[in-house]
Structure 1
């Protein structure tokens, strides 16, 4: 376990300091993008306006500030405070098993972040076996983000921009050999290139459930921290405990979110 942890830390340090390589194979220093270059990159993304009816149907409630956004906004603010303090950017959102609502929370968090005009957010669907982010937003992409990871499509041609500061990358179909793809050198470099070009403040990765495959474990070394989503009355306590410990052995856990609570105390919340 100590060797695995050391390998993960080495990979993170390498990702943070590794120089980029140009198309001709010439190595160059990884310099911050200028504000104008970054703005042009975001402006080149295809704009997409989700329909409110579809968002509400899929329980995406944070497009506008209202009573339903309170808990998501509280979670958003706590995440911002922590990642700014630690200098983190890449956040993995996962769950012990299916049906916990991780994709719903990922989508709501992305829209909540997007309401802050000073924050650029990229939401990427990396649940490559059962992708759902596109359906939640009512977006039918012609290709899949796993084609971008394989170098068959460009991020600019695939991703869509919601408003001015939220980019969403979805999958039309499931991916074959998803675990191998997520830990491939090509996919890792592609994500680094996307981060370098678009300079997002936050990258949210909607990952598969931890107990369903090894995809999430394969991708752990590419993120800075994780959020574990659980379902009240459904997720077994031993699964919550084992998954949290598993995550904590590899990377910081921002928190465990208890979702699908049917019974809340009246004192919780500000709205009447």
Structure 2
């Protein structure tokens, strides 16, 4: 069940998914049973909405030049469960509600980059991000880039049937450029799946690294939204450092394990650093929960 009342107070009531552009793709991704709870209004007030991205022929050519997603040799249980959920209308509709709210918030406030993180590992941040990404992919009027920046335990590739080839730290520090890491999921969605980075690389990441990366992606690909799957917020410094380079954050909490004190601690850590849009309560229990 999805409770959007508190989030509506922050970003206004959403239009129904039917009021959006007709979906182009069949219906890939979806989440678990979700509940949205907006804890605090976005702090970035007075942001001038950005103009609609005008993609030149050169930018569109860069999209088409990206390699298509390289499928793994075999699927794991998490991916099988996720794909099963993706076919359930009651699940996809919940992600579509979340998508509608986020798109409205981003357009009205001129935001582009969104970090998705959980207080602790196993709360479902990668699962929720994959479901949101799949919902966005059903909107052919949106160009979306998704980055797996969970430095020590990247998991996004498990849900979108792609094979990572590079370490996310190499993308963050500029060793690799976006064109070397991005894979085209659809004509309007690209993803950078990742291998884990080593401890030394993880310790050196900074908000400046992410800001430079995002600026380059915006310049070269002009996406409407950039989604970033981040490490657990309470697991150490990297997630907090990275969140400082993002326009907004969405927190994922597990209904069975996340404590109220964990959510409060995350809110304190994010205070004054970025726009906090709210909490997605993940009620799904299964091997796909990461």
- Band the TM-score falls in, shorter-chain normalisation: 0.7 to 0.9
Q: Distance in 2 between matches of 1:98 and 1:194?
A: 28
CA drift of 1:140 comes to 1.9
Partner residue in 1 for 2:241: 218
CA drift of 1:202 comes to 0.3
Residue 118 of structure 1 aligns to a residue in which SS?
A: coil
Q: Distance in 2 between matches of 1:254 and 1:68?
A: 21
Q: Distance in 2 between matches of 1:260 and 1:62?
A: 13
Q: Distance in 1 between matches of 2:203 and 2:97?
A: 36
Distance change >3 Å, CA 53–CA 219, structure 1 → 2: closer
Partner residue in 1 for 2:64: 43
198, 206, 230: which is aligned to 1:207?
230
Partner residue in 2 for 1:254: 277
1:166 matches 2:195: no
Q: Give RMSD over aligned pairs.
A: 2.7
- Kept in 1, the 8 Å contact 2:67–2:184? The answer is yes
Distance change >3 Å, CA 259–CA 63, structure 1 → 2: closer
Structure 1, residues 141-166: CA drift from partner, whole Å, max 9, x if none?
A: 33223222233222212210011011
- Kept in 2, the 8 Å contact 1:62–1:112? The answer is no
Distance change >3 Å, CA 53–CA 186, structure 1 → 2: closer
Q: Distance in 2 between matches of 1:204 and 1:212?
A: 20
Q: Distance in 2 between matches of 1:195 and 1:79?
A: 18
CA drift of 1:61 comes to 6.3
Residue 265 of structure 2 aligns to a residue in which SS?
A: helix
1:232 matches 2:227: no
Q: Give runs of ≥4 in structure 1 deviating > 4 Å.
A: 49-56, 60-65, 184-187
Residue 228 of structure 2 aligns to a residue in which SS?
A: strand
Distance change >3 Å, CA 232–CA 183, structure 1 → 2: same
Residue 177 of structure 1 aligns to a residue in which SS?
A: helix
192, 198, 205: which is aligned to 2:215?
192
1:135 matches 2:148: no
- The TM-score normalised by the length of structure 2 is 0.72
More deviation, 141-150/74-83: 141-150
Higher-RCO chain (CA-CA 8 Å, sequence separation at least 6): 2
Partner residue in 2 for 1:88: 111
**Structure 2 gap segments, 5+ residues each:** 1-43, 48-52, 286-290
Aligned residue pair count? 233
More deviation, 47-56/190-199: 47-56
Residue 219 of structure 1 aligns to a residue in which SS?
A: helix
- Kept in 1, the 8 Å contact 2:210–2:245? The answer is no
- Superposed counterparts of 1:75-114, under 5 Å: 75-114=98-137
- The TM-score normalised by the length of structure 1 is 0.76
Q: Distance in 2 between matches of 1:241 and 1:184?
A: 23
